[in-house]
Amino acid sequence: MSNQEKIQILLAEIGKVVIGQEKMINRLLIGLFTNGHILLEGVPGLAKTLTISTLAKTLHLSFQRIQFTPDLLPADLVGTMIFNPKEAEFEVKKGPIFANLILADEINRSPAKVQSALLEAMQERQVTIGENTYPLDYPFLVLATQNPVEQEGTYPLPEAQVDRFMMKIFVGYPSKEQELAVMRKMANINFKPEINAILNKEDIAKIRDEINQITISETLEKYIIELVFATRYPAEYGLTQEAQYIQFGASPRASISMNRAAKALAYLKQRDFVLPEDIKEVAVDVLNHRIILNYEAEADGINTRQIIENILKNVPITQ
């Protein structure tokens, strides 16, 4: 059985529980297959946590759900040194971060110390406990959720940490037909579908190798660079209105993430080459958390999505 066939079976397994939300599922798979962390933002009740936990069940990987709260400590995340009186020495008690898939639920509810501990794990794929550093298992992926509605008891994520996420996905409401199907399915108290694990570590490693072989032309590589530079120097691209709203543009991680995401999207569409449409489709998710707007943008009701859409309209693909 090919990896493409396995992915279709995996999607069918997720579909036993999750109705709709195809974009969210697609982006989670892109993150899984390109080693990129994903941040999901949406109001409560949109199946963010359910989708991630269902995806975890379709994989032969270890999974930990961590509920972020204001009183969470870094040791609750990474582990700590405990004294063993029998051996008369300290030994390491590893925390839940030592899993392949981490669901960081409501990540913006924990203070800066916890965020910095997670930052090392996300970027370096390692954790420091005491004086020793411990590598995390392969693959290691943080799938985080946050609620944009409540501000009380939340701690905005530092820009340095937000930049570590490959993509930030805004999760929207389902359609009427989808919500009717969700209601009918979930209203059944005895609804407990059996989810089968489809992919293992070796499958994921092979898929990552196959995505790495996807062709992207030099023209499209340069197009990615132009899009990212347009967020930094919008006036040079004729985007004078955007120039007054953007405080900081996207980092070089945006170029890398857009390249990887476009390749993975082409792979999921069962192509072995990237089209301009692939780049445009992932651009919003890759860029929306990396562009920092000023107070003037907030006062005028301008958001990053509008800025990115204007950039995509005005930056041409040149040979």
- Write the CA distances from 103 to 40, 181, 292, integer angstroms: 11, 26, 26
The residues of the chain scoring below 50 in pLDDT are none
What pLDDT is stored for residue 71 in this prediction?
Answer: 87
What pLDDT is stored for residue 298 in this prediction?
Answer: 84
Q: What is the CATH number of domain 213-314?
A: 1.10.8.80
Alpha carbon distance 97, 77 (integer Å): 6
What pLDDT is stored for residue 261 in this prediction?
Answer: 95
Alpha carbon distance 292, 37 (integer Å): 20
Say whether the peptide bond before residue 139 is cis (omega within 30 degrees of 0): yes
Average pLDDT, the chain: 87
- Write the CA distances from 209 to 124, 140, 303, integer angstroms: 21, 16, 36
What pTM value is reported for the model? 0.88
Q: Which of 290, 287, 294, 293 is nearest to 315 (CA)?
A: 287
Q: Which CATH class is domain 3-203?
A: alpha beta
- Domain chopping of the chain, boundaries: 3-203, 213-314
What pLDDT is stored for residue 219 in this prediction?
Answer: 94
CB 31 within 8 A of CB 141: yes
What pLDDT is stored for residue 30 in this prediction?
Answer: 94
What pLDDT is stored for residue 151 in this prediction?
Answer: 62
Which residues, including other chains, have CB under 8 Å from residue 1's CB and lie 6 or more apart? Answer: none
